[in-house]
């Protein structure tokens, strides 16, 4: 993972101490899934541009 992506990732994960661990894990997983879907879309756009 590049440093830029790590910075975006750490910026997105705001640790809320009032949340219980399960809720925190669910939120991190949903953010991770969102990033993965964005990555897939970006890759598709790049592939289309290169054609």
pLDDT of 27: 87
Domain around 14:
3-50
pLDDT at residue number 21:
76
Residues in contact with 36: Cβ distance below 8 Å, sequence separation at least 6, in sequence order? none
Q: What is the pTM of this model?
A: 0.50
Give the pLDDT confidence score for residue 30 in this predicted structure.
92
Which pLDDT score, from 0 to 100, does residue 22 have? 80
Q: Is 43 helix (H, G, I), strand (E, B) or coil?
A: helix
Q: Based on the structure, what is the number of domains in the chain? A: 1
Ordered per-residue pLDDT tens for the chain, 51 residues: 455 555 555 555 555 555 577 888 888 999 999 999 999 999 999 999 998
């Amino acid at each position: 993972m590049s440093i830029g992506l790590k910075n975006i990732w750490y910026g997105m994960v705001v640790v809320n101490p009032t949340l219980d661990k399960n809720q925190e894990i669910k939120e991190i997983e949903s953010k991770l899934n969102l990033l993965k879907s964005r990555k897939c879309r970006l890759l598709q756009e790049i592939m289309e541009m290169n054609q």
